[in-house]
Amino acid sequence: EIVDGLSDANPGPGESKAPWKERKLTYLDHLATVEDDSILKVSCADKLHNARSILSDLNDPRVGVAVWDKFNASRDGTLWYYDSLVEIFERRLAETRLASEFAATVAAFHSVG
């Protein structure tokens, strides 16, 4: 149940994934309305891990801003997505350390690269 709640793309057999932005918008809408807090917490923990990895790469002179090339979206698109996640997690998981750490990590993206 939680795994299903965390997926942004569940195409049926023989179907292809929707375009990146459409998948992200659908996932953001899902997170904004899902009733199961455990889905929100696991999603935030997963996104925090990903965000810390991105920040680590941004701070690594061997990678730096080239980290954005790893994504299906542009740097701006990826930042939009992570900023949107911050808004949802800060609202839905208000006053949790998990949400505040995620927000701080994403904020660092903007100052580093």
Contact call for residues 65 and 48 (beta carbons, < 8 A):
no
pLDDT tens digit string along 16-61?
889 999 999 999 999 999 999 999 999 999 999 999 999 999 999 9
- In this prediction, residues 77-103 reach a mean pLDDT of 97
CA 61 → CA 46, 76, 92, 111, distances in Å? 25, 21, 35, 15
| Domain range summary for the chain, segments of one domain joined by + | 18-112
Percentage of the chain beyond pLDDT 70 is 88
Give 4's Cβ-side CA count (13 Å radius). Answer: 3
Residue 32's identity, in one-letter code, is: A
For the chain, percent of residues with pLDDT exceeding 90: 82
Q: If you average pLDDT over residues 63-90, what whole number do you get?
A: 97
Q: What local confidence, expressed as pLDDT, does residue 3 receive? A: 47
